Chain A
């Protein structure tokens, strides 16, 4: 068991920067997911930890050892690959014991460990099968057993569930969590599936374009995204964004306004371009607003398309004049709003509705830099902002900038 530290790690391929100045500290026994869209550098980061790729700059520590130049076999890591990568010419036993046999363990020890590992992943009775006689899920379990059996300091999992069908993926997800609980080993897990990241990890590291965007527990990433990318990437369906301007009495976009005191948004002043973000589940129709402590003024909208999911319905709303409904690129994003409603509500397509946003769940971002400005905003513009019992102190100052202050503010909102 060991912590993994990346110090200013950069990886360049000729003129492409795959990973740019990555600083990452993964604690002992922690389950960290690296998530991001394809090509964001998450697999490269993983390969640098494994030793399959050497960083162009910076260094990698596992435990107290600088492993930057060590070959993979001397790093005490075990890896589960996306394409499973079982050795096709060996049976299950030989596959699992491959690493142990290379390290010249004696036969009894190998047998004992293989038995235990195959027990953990429920592969008893299959040890003499060949990989091509097994199903995808069984092969994946062999690959995991091959990693467990070495009792490594760090597990690296590179999209291990990507090639499995949906049902098996959910099943393996719980098995991996159980495994983590059982082994209590540091696990670094690469995935592009944010649902996997949300459900399994202690902390999520969100990567984009080779840079670390945020590393925090899943719910912090969800509730207090540090920038537009994290806000849009975490959560499915993704957050609604509306570009607009910070004005004297709040936020104003093309199709709606939200009133608040702009001075409670630190690091931004009236006239700045800001982007408002709101998750679909924080948009409500007016008739259901009673269980909401602080709602914004109502926004006129027309329902467009309904997507019943069973447990909820996603409603695409068109803001403003219902006539200018358009699905084209830019306009679609600014005048469209996605709302999730209870499945038993009797909402119809092409219906005029009034919706409100949950103030405490409104996110404000600097449009230019993408950095988060505030998570949750206070009730009313002007002097009434100060009337809040505890909010005024932290919000009114508008001092602290960047990342720290929005977090405290959002916390004070709850």
Chain B
């Protein structure tokens, strides 16, 4: 009996391998992946690693390249004689990271961008929290059109606002179009944070409002009611209950705003009339200071770029912890 079954299985496997031969390698491999869960998970894992490595290389290689450039003396960069293996620093010149601050007050440029980004983020989060509460949790006529109107602000290219804003911020009186009536004379804001924080806030508000609206709308009404009965006002409920429970959303909006403003150059290069840290010229302005009419110090630019990125990296790591902890706490369960 047992011998019989053995031969049976043998013939079965034999016929299976025969069909494998008939199908060709790709088809049989596909068949294997479909029928065999082990092979399937192997494939999934392989795909996962392939895609992850691809993304890591494309995002991290520029940083590595910055580091290579920063450590290579400028003369060797300009000489262009890279020995193989090509992708390693030529020489070792960590002094570049010190020189960055000696040649120009680069820390002041970093400080400027950091302050601008922080101020804008605070303003944006406060205002978009209020707006997000209203749009997400209250019913009122015209809510849809109003939301659309706010989102439309972000449809315009920032350059469209530049000329009128520049004119206003240089202290020219605001004149009503066509009728020529002078409305008011704005303070001269160029070379101050105000001239940058105001347009940044306006430009980045719509996105934050949109994010926070969706997050605040998800908080159950009962929690807000409970907070109000317990003794908060609506505003108190927003800041004590709704915002903490929407921490991931708030963190997302804050990080996006912060990074966008921190990297901003277009507006601030124009609103700061000269590329001087005292005139609130931003980080990117500082980087360009290493480029003079006659030479470009690539190693210093690279080192300064790395220094400039550090605050954002720290911020994102901290915020990400917050985002992750907010998600894993199951805050939105119920």
Report B293-333 residues with CB < 8 Å from chain A CB: 329-333
A110 at the interface (CB under 8 A from B): no
Question: How many angstroms between the C-alpha atoms of A47 and B224 in the bound complex?
Answer: 13
B230 at the interface (CB under 8 A from A): yes
Shortest C-beta distance, A58 to chain B (Å), equals 21
A98 at the interface (CB under 8 A from B): yes
Of the listed stretches B35-43, B59-67, B191-199, B231-239, chain A binds B231-239
Question: How many angstroms between the C-alpha atoms of A138 and B226 in the bound complex?
Answer: 17
B334 touches A88 (CB 8 A): yes
Question: If the complex has contacts A73-B233, A103-B231, are A87 and B329 also in contact, measured as CB distance less than 8 A?
Answer: no
B232 touches A89 (CB 8 A): no
A132 at the interface (CB under 8 A from B): yes
- 6 residue pairs from A and B, CB less than 8 Å apart: A50-B225, A73-B232, A82-B222, A85-B220, A89-B244, A130-B329
Question: How many angstroms between the C-alpha atoms of A81 and B221 in the bound complex?
Answer: 11
B211 at the interface (CB under 8 A from A): no
- Chain B residues contacting A87 (CB-CB under 8 Å) are 223, 226-227, 241, 245
- Chain A residues contacting B330 (CB-CB under 8 Å) are 88, 132
Question: How many angstroms between the C-alpha atoms of A156 and B225 in the bound complex?
Answer: 12
User: B229: which of A72, A84, A130 is its contact (CB, 8 Å)?
Assistant: A72
Report A47-102 residues with CB < 8 Å from chain B CB: 47, 50-52, 71-73, 77-79, 81-89, 98-99, 102
B88 at the interface (CB under 8 A from A): no
Question: How many angstroms between the C-alpha atoms of A50 and B236 in the bound complex?
Answer: 17
- Chain B residues contacting A102 (CB-CB under 8 Å) are 230-232, 236
CB-nearest residue of chain B to A83: B222
Shortest C-beta distance, B326 to chain A (Å), equals 9
Given contacts A73-B230, A89-B245, A132-B330, 12 further A-B contacts (CB under 8 A): A52-B229, A71-B228, A72-B225, A79-B225, A81-B222, A83-B334, A88-B333, A88-B334, A89-B244, A102-B230, A132-B333, A146-B226
Question: How many angstroms between the C-alpha atoms of A85 and B220 in the bound complex?
Answer: 8
Chain B residues engaging chain A, CB cutoff 8 angstroms: 220, 222-223, 225-233, 236, 241, 244-245, 247, 329-334
User: A99: which of B231, B241, B329 is its contact (CB, 8 Å)?
Assistant: B231
Shortest C-beta distance, B58 to chain A (Å), equals 37
Question: How many angstroms between the C-alpha atoms of A46 and B330 in the bound complex?
Answer: 30
A359 at the interface (CB under 8 A from B): no
Q: Which 7 A-B pairs give the minimum distances between C-beta atoms?
A: A85-B222, A99-B230, A85-B226, A102-B231, A73-B231, A79-B229, A83-B222
Question: How many angstroms between the C-alpha atoms of A347 and B227 in the bound complex?
Answer: 57
Shortest C-beta distance, B288 to chain A (Å), equals 45
Question: How many angstroms between the C-alpha atoms of A132 and B328 in the bound complex?
Answer: 11
User: A98: which of B220, B230, B244, B247 is its contact (CB, 8 Å)?
Assistant: B230
CB-nearest residue of chain B to A133: B330
A146 touches B222 (CB 8 A): no
CB-nearest residue of chain A to B331: A88
A73 touches B229 (CB 8 A): yes
B230 touches A83 (CB 8 A): no
A273 at the interface (CB under 8 A from B): no
Question: If the complex has contacts A73-B231, A99-B231, A132-B333, are A88 and B226 also in contact, measured as CB distance less than 8 A?
Answer: no
A42 at the interface (CB under 8 A from B): no
A50 touches B229 (CB 8 A): yes
Interface size on A, residues (CB 8 A): 28
- Chain B residues contacting A361 (CB-CB under 8 Å) are none
User: A85: which of B223, B231, B232, B333 is its contact (CB, 8 Å)?
Assistant: B223
Report A345-367 residues with CB < 8 Å from chain B CB: none
Which of B223, B244, B245, B332 counts the most A-chain CB atoms under 10 A from its CB? B223
User: B228: which of A73, A86, A103 is its contact (CB, 8 Å)?
Assistant: A73
Which of A85, A146, A150 counts the most B-chain CB atoms under 10 A from its CB? A85
Shortest C-beta distance, A238 to chain B (Å), equals 31
- Chain B residues contacting A130 (CB-CB under 8 Å) are 329
Shortest C-beta distance, A3 to chain B (Å), equals 19
- Chain B residues contacting A85 (CB-CB under 8 Å) are 220, 222-223, 225-226, 334
CB-nearest residue of chain B to A87: B241
User: A72: which of B228, B247, B329, B333 is its contact (CB, 8 Å)?
Assistant: B228
- Chain B residues contacting A103 (CB-CB under 8 Å) are 231
Question: How many angstroms between the C-alpha atoms of A86 and B226 in the bound complex?
Answer: 8
Shortest C-beta distance, B246 to chain A (Å), equals 10
B229 touches A88 (CB 8 A): no
CB-nearest residue of chain B to A78: B229
- Chain A residues contacting B223 (CB-CB under 8 Å) are 85, 87-88
- Chain B residues contacting A88 (CB-CB under 8 Å) are 223, 245, 329-334
Question: How many angstroms between the C-alpha atoms of A77 and B231 in the bound complex?
Answer: 10
Cβ contacts A378-411/B at 8 Å (1 or 0 each): 0000000000000000000000000000000000
Question: How many angstroms between the C-alpha atoms of A50 and B229 in the bound complex?
Answer: 7
Question: If the complex has contacts A88-B245, A88-B331, are A71 and B230 also in contact, measured as CB distance less than 8 A?
Answer: no
Shortest C-beta distance, A241 to chain B (Å), equals 38
Question: If the complex has contacts A88-B329, A89-B331, are A146 and B230 also in contact, measured as CB distance less than 8 A?
Answer: yes
- Chain A residues contacting B245 (CB-CB under 8 Å) are 87-89
Question: If the complex has contacts A88-B245, A89-B245, A103-B231, are A81 and B333 also in contact, measured as CB distance less than 8 A?
Answer: no
- Chain A residues contacting B225 (CB-CB under 8 Å) are 47, 50, 52, 72, 79, 81, 85
Shortest C-beta distance, A143 to chain B (Å), equals 8
B226 touches A81 (CB 8 A): yes
A77 touches B236 (CB 8 A): no
Question: How many angstroms between the C-alpha atoms of A130 and B241 in the bound complex?
Answer: 15
B233 touches A71 (CB 8 A): yes
Question: How many angstroms between the C-alpha atoms of A85 and B333 in the bound complex?
Answer: 11
- Chain A residues contacting B333 (CB-CB under 8 Å) are 88, 132
CB-nearest residue of chain A to B332: A88
Question: How many angstroms between the C-alpha atoms of A73 and B330 in the bound complex?
Answer: 28
- Chain A residues contacting B232 (CB-CB under 8 Å) are 73, 102
Question: How many angstroms between the C-alpha atoms of A390 and B331 in the bound complex?
Answer: 68
- Chain B residues contacting A73 (CB-CB under 8 Å) are 228-233
Which of A51, A71, A103, A130 counts the most B-chain CB atoms under 10 A from its CB? A71
CB-nearest residue of chain A to B247: A89
Shortest C-beta distance, A81 to chain B (Å), equals 5
- Chain B residues contacting A132 (CB-CB under 8 Å) are 329-330, 333
Shortest C-beta distance, A85 to chain B (Å), equals 4
Question: How many angstroms between the C-alpha atoms of A88 and B228 in the bound complex?
Answer: 16
Question: How many angstroms between the C-alpha atoms of A102 and B229 in the bound complex?
Answer: 11
- Chain B residues contacting A99 (CB-CB under 8 Å) are 230-231
Question: How many angstroms between the C-alpha atoms of A84 and B225 in the bound complex?
Answer: 11
